[in-house]
Structure 1
Amino acid sequence: MARIRSSSLSMYSFLSSYVTQKLNPDLATTSQPQTTSSKSRRLHPTSYLDGLRGIASVLVFLCHYTEENHRYMLPTYGVPYENDNVASSPFQLPFLRLVFSGRPMVHIFFVISGFALSYKPLREIRARNFKGFHAALSSSAFRRPIRLYGPPLVSSCIVFAMVCLGLVYKPQPTFRDQLEHWASSTFYQVLWPWSWDTELRPRYDLHLWTIPIEMCHSMLLFVVLLTLSRVRYHVRLFVTVFLMNYCLSCGRWAAFEFIAGMLLAEFHLKAAERRQAQLKLYEHYDSPDAGWPNNKPDYTWGINVLDAWTPSAFPHNDPTTPQKFWFALCAVGVVCVAREALESRFAQYCGRVSYAVYIVHGPVLELLQTKITGEPGRKSLGKYGYPGYKLGGARLRAQGADGRGDGGQRTLCWLLGLVFFVPLVMAAADVFCRWVDEPVVDVARRIERRCAIDEFDRTPNPAGDASDRDRWHA
């Protein structure tokens, strides 16, 4: 038993040390060792953002699991689901419902992306190293399409194979039709960067709708960084805040979040300079909470006030549109104040596999959720007490609990489903991270090294002989 425990600790230590070596190398600056029972665990000044992204990706998975299999958990506590008059689950209470409130997490992703992409270029700007700034910016811009599009392309190919085998969705009449359908859907719904913040709803994995938004706003951020690279700090600060307000006033929530991430990176670097780049920037504050229901927010105390105060740029014709304004603001606040718990081993591991979790959880749910939890969202048929009556809702077949009799059974059904899906999704994400995500990052670096001009070529001979001029223009 002691030998097994020792082996487990050694493997756990290895995984935790592997996290910060592989995850977000662009953010790694000054490493901070922290001693553990077996090996030291190295953290960099922004490791907490990796942990935050990891936890957020897990909550997105929990959100989709709940929305697709246990929709009775979605209304505010005390509001009946489809007038069934069944007591609510305790997890529907404010704050507790955060565990499956994945929609705000997407906004946190975008703030973190703005922070991560801005961190190194801003560091070079503040050091007046404009040569280093150009190298950092061009490197990020060059690798960004490969980094963002590579893993989703692989996952969509896997889903395409699953469709052809009849495991998920309804296949097209012929293989050629299926191939054309996949190619068109992938190009126009995953690789299409012109949608800004429109949900394109990709057919081969609905949850990849954020990828085009990530791509186009990453490029917008690079343009903003380039434009403001040679202006003074206070001017850059003023223009950044102006752009944030302008984006919000136009209803462009994703642009606001990316540029807000840039602003937070600027503040982080400013404070790091003031405190010798070793002290923590953010102290322990209470994290801002969110628990905005997707429907009828005006029925929820407190939320109804915020809903009424939502700017007109976020119209109420869709109940999920006003929440985007508040989620954007809360996302900035969460990135500001959360740190200590996000540097834990679990959070850092989640950070390492975060992109993989986001990509694979949809196909895993699509493949297995009807086999494990039953068909989601079925309504009751007939009249209770009469022949032919069939009770609707989701059912956890593996455990024999239908989860529909009362709030307690519904909560049990929801929890038991997680017992099955959490290990499955995390295992699939770990494999995908090792075999797809991390190799794609390495491929992007290798392509950049092959294509980029080396240091010798960037410095032509002052004498200007023909060979040097040819190398410069190559």
Structure 2
Amino acid sequence: MFPWFDHRSRKVDHDEELPPYLPLENIEEAGEPASVDCALYESPLEAEKPPSHPPRGLGRAAKWTLHYLHAFVPTFLRPSSREPKKLYPTSWLDGLRGIAALLVVCHHCSLLWFSWDIHSAWKPGQKLLLIQLPLIRLLISGKCHVAVFFAVSGYAISHKPLKLAREGHFDEVGATLSSSVFRRHTRLYMPAAVVTFVSALMTQLGWYGRVGLPGVASPTREPPHANDLMGQLWHFAGTQVATTDPIGQEHAQAGVRRRVQSPYDANLWTLPIEFNTSMVIFMFLVAFTRVHDRVRMAFALALIVYFHYYFIYWALFLFLGGMLICDLHFELEQMGWHTRPADESSTVPPMRVQARRGFVSRVWNKIKGSRVHTRVPSLASFGLALWMLSMPEMARGGREAAGYVTIASLVPDRYQDELIVPLGAIFLVLVVDRATYLQVLFTNRFAQYMGKISYSLYMIHGPLLWTLGSFLGQKCVGITGEETDLMYTLGIALAALLWWPVALYVADLTYRCVDLKSVQLARWAYEKLLKKKRYD
């Protein structure tokens, strides 16, 4: 019989503890009617409701068949996907997390199909791989994107409470926080439970590859295999109890190994961190939403420094940092420091001085009449944030990496990778929040769609990658050969072309049938159990 799962004794290679994407709280709790969380996007489910009075006989069967077949049509192939969607001031958060989710999947693809060499830092005198250069290496990096997710999540879950508090609606703040705390556990863990259940069935069926490509970073990631289906389900139930513990999970801390993770999807190790850290944010908001705004911001800054300097609670650092950026956004608005709208054509100041004769004068007047000179600082800041996020891991030679030797020498050993990269994530969110013309990178149709399915893509890509992705990689490399780097790369490119459409389709289906339903269930349960206000 299969042994009971001992989550405390499970050991995982540090090199495989790689960051996934994390879901964000409903933007309804963050202040805007449709952003950040997929729950409030225009739902295709209404079009999928079965007819209330279907015709009888063959007509009824045809109607129901078409209804259920329609559910398998992905969102991007439906006519409604071509209709323009309204954007909101916080829509860029959706796009940012969507692009980051896409890059996290690329990161895990690189682990399955390539060696650790591409993740190592480039040092002078060594053979240079293009993917090792700063900014370009973001395409296959992982931890930096988790840092961005946490910073964005801190911004999102605090947006609505902070906005209401600044407007003086303290009763609504309490109601918002009550709803957030009630629904948080269900919001995070219910969709993941469905996906890991399917992963357990895939394990029992033997779909996980036991032998991967030679020389790759993570050739296999097969969950424990039971002797029979009941043993597998019993093992799955034990892991669910352990990984969804809302009390006993520790906070993410530098140098401290995590206590639990799901063997059916190693990427879900971040969910307990997300849950715990969200509770800290909600507790802070309960305590400080009624105090003066600048006093609250001062306390938040003090906690950020305190937690990170003494304890290196890097996740709390990012969540609190995102919350502080959100509060700063409202503070600057109240001071009259409004950010420019995405379309600045109506706000460009007129040129007051006519161009004078002479090359220098013409160039100066051209620059003065354009927006370039006003955007240079924010563009430079954006590039600096990406450069900080590109810093290689210390275990991969980050201290000797070209372009990072000086800044790495300033980082105390006890911080490891939990200083420069988290600061870069906070800085990135701050820059994009203030320089709204950069938000076009995250408000386009592709980024918004990726934001909508990002949590589902995060959940399903691990099991799908180490089953179908492993199979396709071996078959395609077998076709092209692996005698040269070019032949191997062509084989992997072919595998990726076949795997990615399947991944996006499964993520889209999971979003509509699992993720969205979980959000609706949590909201329905809260509203049904809510004690109604009594009027005298």
Q: Same fold (TM over 0.5)?
A: yes
Give 1:252 deviation, angstroms: 0.4
Question: Secondary structure of the residue that 2:312 maps to in structure 1?
Answer: coil
Structure-2 residue corresponding to 1:255 = 316
Give 1:244 deviation, angstroms: 0.5
- Check if 1:182 corresponds to 2:185: no
Structure-2 residue corresponding to 1:431 = 509
Give 1:30 deviation, angstroms: 7.1
Structure 2 CA distance for aligned equivalents of residues 304 and 230 of structure 1: 45
Contact 2:480–2:490 (CA under 8 A) maintained in structure 1: no
Report the TM-score, using the length of structure 1 for normalisation. 0.77
Further displaced range: 54-63 or 413-422: 413-422
Amino acid at match of 1:292: M
Structure-2 residue corresponding to 1:66 = 110
Residue of 251, 269, 273 corresponding to 1:196: 251
Give 1:247 deviation, angstroms: 1.3
Structure-1 residue corresponding to 2:171 = 131
Give the alignment of 1:152-171 within 5 angstroms: 152-168=192-208, 169=222, 170-171=224-225
Question: Secondary structure of the residue that 2:235 maps to in structure 1?
Answer: helix
Give 1:311 deviation, angstroms: 3.2
Question: Secondary structure of the residue that 1:29 maps to in structure 2?
Answer: coil
- Check if 1:355 corresponds to 2:358: no
Contact 2:122–2:128 (CA under 8 A) maintained in structure 1: yes
Give 1:373 deviation, angstroms: 1.5
Contact 2:183–2:522 (CA under 8 A) maintained in structure 1: yes
Query: Residue by residue, what CA displacement relative to the aligned partner does 1:372-421 show, whole Å, maximum 9, x if unpaired?
Result: 123xxxxxxxxxxxxxxxxxxxx84265142x634x55654554443233
Structure-2 residue corresponding to 1:76 = 121
Structure-2 residue corresponding to 1:440 = 518
Query: Residue by residue, what CA displacement relative to the aligned partner does 1:151-187 show, whole Å, maximum 9, x if unpaired?
Result: 1111111111111212123512243432232122222
Residue of 230, 246, 253 corresponding to 2:306: 246
Amino acid at match of 1:125: A
Give 1:190 deviation, angstroms: 4.6
Structure-2 residue corresponding to 1:307 = 408
Query: Residue by residue, what CA displacement relative to the aligned partner does 1:81-137 show, whole Å, maximum 9, x if unpaired?
Result: xxxx9x554222222111111211111111111111100000111011110110111
Residue of 444, 450, 463 corresponding to 1:344: 444
- Check if 1:53 corresponds to 2:97: yes
Residue of 409, 415, 420 corresponding to 1:326: 420
Q: Unpaired segments of 5 or more residues in structure 2?
A: 1-24, 36-79, 209-221, 343-373, 433-438
Amino acid at match of 1:367: T
Amino acid at match of 1:95: L
Amino acid at match of 1:76: A
Question: Secondary structure of the residue that 1:397 maps to in structure 2?
Answer: helix
Structure-2 residue corresponding to 1:116 = 156
- Check if 1:291 corresponds to 2:356: no
With over 3 angstroms needed to count, the CA separation of the structure-2 counterparts of 1:237 and 1:60, relative to structure 1, is same
With over 3 angstroms needed to count, the CA separation of the structure-2 counterparts of 1:23 and 1:418, relative to structure 1, is farther
Further displaced range: 342-351 or 263-272: 263-272
- Check if 1:335 corresponds to 2:429: yes
Question: Secondary structure of the residue that 2:181 maps to in structure 1?
Answer: helix
Give 1:204 deviation, angstroms: 0.7
Contact 1:111–1:332 (CA under 8 A) maintained in structure 2: yes
Contact 1:23–1:352 (CA under 8 A) maintained in structure 2: no
Structure 2 CA distance for aligned equivalents of residues 313 and 39 of structure 1: 51
Query: Residue by residue, what CA displacement relative to the aligned partner does 1:182-220 show, whole Å, maximum 9, x if unpaired?
Result: 122222235455122153332110000100000011101
With over 3 angstroms needed to count, the CA separation of the structure-2 counterparts of 1:313 and 1:231, relative to structure 1, is farther
Q: Unpaired segments of 5 or more residues in structure 1?
A: 1-21, 315-321, 375-394, 462-474
Contact 2:151–2:318 (CA under 8 A) maintained in structure 1: yes
Structure-2 residue corresponding to 1:368 = 468
With over 3 angstroms needed to count, the CA separation of the structure-2 counterparts of 1:453 and 1:421, relative to structure 1, is same
Structure 2 CA distance for aligned equivalents of residues 96 and 266 of structure 1: 32
Query: Residue by residue, what CA displacement relative to the aligned partner does 1:279-327 show, whole Å, maximum 9, x if unpaired?
Result: 549975334223233412223123233332223542xxxxxxx122222
Count how many residue pairs are aligned between Structure 1 and Structure 2. 400
With over 3 angstroms needed to count, the CA separation of the structure-2 counterparts of 1:78 and 1:255, relative to structure 1, is closer
| Percent identity (aligned) | 29
Amino acid at match of 2:477: R
Structure 2 CA distance for aligned equivalents of residues 96 and 144 of structure 1: 35
Structure-2 residue corresponding to 1:265 = 326
With over 3 angstroms needed to count, the CA separation of the structure-2 counterparts of 1:176 and 1:98, relative to structure 1, is same
With over 3 angstroms needed to count, the CA separation of the structure-2 counterparts of 1:175 and 1:301, relative to structure 1, is same
Give 1:354 deviation, angstroms: 0.9
Contact 1:50–1:348 (CA under 8 A) maintained in structure 2: yes
Structure 1 CA distance for aligned equivalents of residues 263 and 190 of structure 2: 17
Structure 2 CA distance for aligned equivalents of residues 97 and 278 of structure 1: 31
With over 3 angstroms needed to count, the CA separation of the structure-2 counterparts of 1:401 and 1:332, relative to structure 1, is farther
Query: Residue by residue, what CA displacement relative to the aligned partner does 1:12-39 show, whole Å, maximum 9, x if unpaired?
Result: xxxxxxxxxx97343453789xxx9974
Residue of 24, 29, 49 corresponding to 2:27: 24
Contact 1:54–1:354 (CA under 8 A) maintained in structure 2: yes
Contact 1:66–1:414 (CA under 8 A) maintained in structure 2: no
With over 3 angstroms needed to count, the CA separation of the structure-2 counterparts of 1:38 and 1:400, relative to structure 1, is closer
Give the alignment of 1:407-418 within 5 angstroms: 408=486, 411-418=489-496
Give 1:59 deviation, angstroms: 0.8
Structure-1 residue corresponding to 2:484 = 405
Structure-2 residue corresponding to 1:319 = none
Structure 2 CA distance for aligned equivalents of residues 342 and 275 of structure 1: 25
Structure 2 CA distance for aligned equivalents of residues 223 and 437 of structure 1: 26
Query: Residue by residue, what CA displacement relative to the aligned partner does 1:232-269 show, whole Å, maximum 9, x if unpaired?
Result: 11211110000010111111000111111110111222
Question: Secondary structure of the residue that 1:42 maps to in structure 2?
Answer: coil
Structure-1 residue corresponding to 2:134 = 94
Structure 2 CA distance for aligned equivalents of residues 221 and 405 of structure 1: 52
Report the TM-score, using the length of structure 2 for normalisation. 0.69
Give 1:274 deviation, angstroms: 4.5
Amino acid at match of 1:307: A
Residue of 217, 221, 225 corresponding to 2:285: 225
